[in-house]
Amino acid sequence: MKTVYVDNNATTRVAPEVVEAMLPYFSEFYGNPSSMHFFGGQVQKKVNEARERVADFLGAEPSEIVFTSCGTESDNTAILGTLDSYPEKRHFITSRVEHPAVMNVASHLSRKGYRTTGISVDREGRLDLDELKESIADETALVSIMYANNETGVLFPIEEVGEIVKSSGIPFHTDGVQAAGKIPLNMKKSTVDLFSLSGHKLHAPKGVGVLYVRKGTKFSPFMIGGHQEKGRRGGTENVPYIIGLGKACELAKKHLEDENTRVKSLRDYLEVKIFEKIPNTLVNGDRKSRLPNTLSVSFEYVEGESILLLLSDLGICASSGSACTSGSLEPSHVLRAMGVPFTAAHGSIRFSLSIYNTKEEMDYIIEHLPPIIQRLRDISPFWKDYLKSQGKR
């Protein structure tokens, strides 16, 4: 069966160049980078080269890059590590639409007696900056606001957020997992102190991530152990994956223009054609400030899960809400926070593209999606009620 993979916000294909770059580090160069002998030393040198590539991609200094195991670890380290550095401050601010890697840390902190604030978003998924300003207090230890939403692709005005946070002298973390590789980033010109990145969202393997820590930012390690990563993250380095991530960042820098031109126009083409062919469809999220690869659409009066299964039977891999919430029939916390009506939130599908997608694949989706929606609406009592209310049946 043909596979059309449009679930790149869940995970991406490992680039062939990345696989190639990693392979020698499983077989030939298997030394421990901490070893004193030449065999470990040569690996350490390559880990440092990968660090330079990641730093170059983020517009950072190599010394500001800490390798982790995933985006979740980077988020946990940024939040729990910062709070550990400011034990007298017991207030944490985030948004209501974060990934569980931040959201569930906030819940954990609430259970531990911290005061936590979740900043609201509007119907378009835009952050309420006034609420953010009002929420900042003397006891605020950290503000963590995501760069780009994994479900809707909405981009928050991170530098504006950073200005607000930094003017109160508070550290600022952003979960940049969905932004990295999709929009230009430059930490040297940014207000961000801590930035999380995950390898498997940008064509590196699952199991490697990065936490950028601005020089001078107070930091305490989350993974306590050896002296690796200058004492900022214990544990022997995952050398092949770090090498792979270095290569993936080099490629992502090269492909950024393609992502923002060709991939964006494929996404726009898909959106326009869906609107043309399927009535009662809405886009979730601010179309003026959105990742170039993401399209979250709601088909009113149908179940997203049923759409997904029928698409999957045809080899089309998309997602309903975020991969982490699919399987549950509750509308996602993101769509609920945005106030998407129940009849639309249930029928929401996320298409997320990558540089490997083609126009033929978009046409394949456009050919098969309208009959699927029609078939599901034909058996939906909500759709029948809607038609009746419109005097159409």
Query: In the complex, which residues of this chain contact ligand PLP (CB under 6 A)?
Result: 70-72, 75, 99, 101, 146, 150, 175, 177-178, 198, 200, 209
Instruction: Give catalytic residues, as residue numbers.
Output: 324
Among the listed residues 213, 218, 241, the one whose alpha carbon sits nearest the alpha carbon of residue 229: 213
Let me know if 112 is exposed, middle or buried by CB neighbors in 10 A (0-12, 13-18, 19+). Answer: exposed
Q: How far is the CB of 279 from ligand PLP (least distance, A)?
A: 31
* Closest to ligand PLP by CB, 99 or 377: 99
Q: How far is the CB of 259 from ligand PLP (least distance, A)?
A: 16
Among the listed residues 276, 272, 59, the one whose alpha carbon sits nearest the alpha carbon of residue 185: 59
Strand partners, 40: none
Structure tokens at 377: 């609406």
Shortest-Cβ-distance residue relative to ligand PLP: 71
CA-CA-CA-CA torsion for 176, 132, 153, 107, nearest 10 degrees? Answer: 70
Handedness of CA 117, 121, 127, 133 (dihedral sign): negative
* Closest to ligand PLP by CB, 146 or 161: 146
* Closest to ligand PLP by CB, 79 or 146: 146
Strand partners, 154: 290
Q: How far is the CB of 276 from ligand PLP (least distance, A)?
A: 30
* Closest to ligand PLP by CB, 146 or 338: 146
Output the DSSP codes for 246-267.
HHHHHHHHHHHHHIIIIIHHHH
Q: How far is the CB of 30 from ligand PLP (least distance, A)?
A: 25
Alpha helices (H) along the chain: 16-22, 24-27, 38-58, 71-85, 100-111, 129-135, 158-167, 239-258, 264-277, 304-313, 333-338, 342-345, 359-378, 381-389
Q: How far is the CB of 27 from ligand PLP (least distance, A)?
A: 26
* Closest to ligand PLP by CB, 291 or 311: 291
